[in-house]
Structure 1
Amino acid sequence: MLRNIVCGLAIAFFSLGAAAESYKMTLSGASPSGLWTMIGVGIDGAVKDAFPGSTITYQTSGGGLANIALLDQGKVELGIAHDAELHIATLGAKPFRKPITNLRAIAMLYDWAPMQMVITKAFAEEHGIRTFDDIAVKKPPIRIAFNKRGNITEYVAVEMFRAIGVSLDDIKKWGGDVIYAASDEQGDLMKDKRIDMFTNGVFVRTSFIVQAGDAVDLVLLPVSDSVIKKISQELSVAPFVVKAGSYSWQPTDVATLALSAILVVNDKMDDKVAHDLAEALHKHIGKLQGAHGSLKAITPEFLTSQKTVPYHKGAEAYYREAGLLK
């Protein structure tokens, strides 16, 4: 009898311990508002549901490049980074001084942030520009706004121009200008007709593009297969098609490239912790899907679809258990 009581208490104790398990971690994102903040809310909600009492605290940062450095140094447990950022980190390319090879994926978060080359219709017609590649041929005096220096979308855009044989100095030599501006400022510059074109890697129908299109007639320039292939190989970003009608002024499909975002950790993270994170995101995927309208497309299979860096062993083990990886 006594033995049964002791065994029962032991079982209850260990069950209570498992049920009471919780995690306190910091997630390094980007700005204090915007999509990555909402992704942080979704991740926090999923982990809370799976492990009551847990808290995933969102920390602002300079973005994916900064997050990679923080993870490499063990200063945060979780970080969000774009595929292109992770790729250049593994190569040790600028701004990194050496290859960063100790990062591992927990889950893919999105892969639908296309590089959008938006030009005013008036300027495009005046200079005979129908495609992105035409800029290299026509050499127009174009005023272009890139995202702020250090932002990965600025980096990718510059590489795309290089792929068509155009440097930023070339643009200035043609009588044009190069401006660095955040997304909303790009929209304002376009509405005020202070630029002829902007380039950014954001979701289709992001508000600043829609609002700019309401004020000025715009064109979304298609990118050639050769540029898409070159940049895909060099930066580990994927081809993407902006479907016809995504904007009222865009009647046909437009080919380009898209950035992906990945939840990453240091490879020193305990296997069980990584396993539990993957399990939380899978079993409570609704928290991610509900965090922002653009995340509704996330599926269980999508969580395992990135190929830029290896999955953490613990996360990989869970996904295999769940039948999401073979």
Structure 2
Amino acid sequence: MLRFIICGLAFVLLSFSAAADPYRMTLSGASPSGLWTMIGVGIDGAIKDSFPGSDVTYQTSGGGLANIALIDQGKVELGIAHDAELQIATLGAKPFARPVTSLRAIALLYNWAPMQMVITKAFAEKYGIHSFDDLAAKKPPLRIALNKRGNITEHVAIELFKAIGVTVDDIKKWGGDVIYAASDEQGDLMKDRRIDMFANGVFVRTSFIVQAGDAVELVLLPVSERVINTVSQELKVAPFIVKAGSYPWQPVDVPTVALGAVLMVNSKMEDKVAHDLAEALHKHIDKLQGAHSSLKAITPEFLASQKVIPYHKGAEAYYREAGLLK
């Protein structure tokens, strides 16, 4: 009898030890101090709570496109990419030489970073511009700032212009100019009145937009349903409404498209590991919600709702067990 008790106790202890084995992983994000860094802290916290002693090391990179390559090559275990970047990779469009088929999702992290087409009120009134589509008809000498070349928001902006039949060369032919600048620099250019418009995909009330609006009267241009549908289908970005009153100078709802971000892994990851990751994020979702004020809206159902790439088999199995997928 004593032997059976000892053997049983040993089995329980061994099972507990195996279940509690810590994970050591690298998460490839973007800048060392941006939103994705905060998301990395939340992911690390959730995994630590589920598997004490675990450590998720945040690694800076060039952003989602670079992270896709790192995941595809098996150089990191975890990566973050925008939905539009995942779609580009899946199609094998530039900068990828071929379709990338190794990407699998663990969780959707957010989908509320709208493309905000912000123009000065003075310029809009001077040229009779009431919507984004009006730019194609009016052909004004527009000085516009887009994000840096290679940044996904620059790509989405170019595709939005393409959907209204406008290219960068067209803008220059109208007597305008296109400047490529990071978000904070765009705000400074607007405050200094060196540009008439910027187009960027960031959270509503991001500080550089708020500060620009404190210095210059601004207008948020609505995007037509036709353009929204075209770009949404092409890039897998989501239709979005910037609610009236989000800015003091924005009295009505403004339709546009929004970028989302996905936690991804390689399809070769063991099913158990992917299952554990999904379970950790679900059961300790408070770690994600508390990582940044903009992430408070994340729900368990939301984690399992992205549709750009397949979920990893292990993550999918967990979400089905938890009733989050049918």
| TM-score, normalised by the number of residues in structure 2 | 0.99
Cα deviation code 1:273-310 (max 9, x no counterpart): 00000000000000000000000000000001100000
Aligned to 2:120: 120
Aligned to 1:266: 266
Task: Name the aligned partner's letter for residue 132 of structure 1.
Answer: F
The runs of at least 4 aligned residues of structure 1 exceeding 3 Å deviation read none
Q: CA deviation at 1:11?
A: 1.9
Task: Name the aligned partner's letter for residue 235 of structure 2.
Answer: L
Aligned to 2:277: 277
Q: Percent identity?
A: 81
Aligned to 1:12: 12
1: CA distance, partners of 2:100 / 2:268: 14
Aligned to 1:145: 145
Aligned to 2:107: 107
| Aligned positions of 1:50-89 closer than 5 A | 50-89=50-89
Cα deviation code 1:129-184 (max 9, x no counterpart): 00000000000001000000000000000010011010000101111000000000
RMSD between superposed Cα atoms in Å: 0.8
Cα deviation code 1:14-58 (max 9, x no counterpart): 234235311000000000011000000000000000000000110
In structure 2, the gaps of 5 or more residues are: none
1: CA distance, partners of 2:303 / 2:251: 32
Secondary structure, in 3 states, of the residue corresponding to 1:288?
A: helix
Q: CA deviation at 1:86?
A: 0.3
Secondary structure, in 3 states, of the residue corresponding to 2:38?
A: helix
Secondary structure, in 3 states, of the residue corresponding to 1:123?
A: helix
Q: CA deviation at 1:3?
A: 2.3
In structure 1, the gaps of 5 or more residues are: none
Aligned to 1:251: 251
Secondary structure, in 3 states, of the residue corresponding to 1:190?
A: helix
Cα deviation code 1:245-281 (max 9, x no counterpart): 0000000000000001000000000000000000000
| Aligned positions of 1:286-301 closer than 5 A | 286-301=286-301
Aligned to 1:217: 217
Aligned to 1:172: 172
Deviates more, 1:151-160 or 1:5-14: 5-14
Aligned to 2:240: 240
| TM-score, normalised by the number of residues in structure 1 | 0.99
Aligned to 1:136: 136
2: CA distance, partners of 1:150 / 1:126: 32
Cα deviation code 1:83-108 (max 9, x no counterpart): 10000100000010000011000000
Secondary structure, in 3 states, of the residue corresponding to 2:101?
A: coil
Secondary structure, in 3 states, of the residue corresponding to 2:109?
A: strand
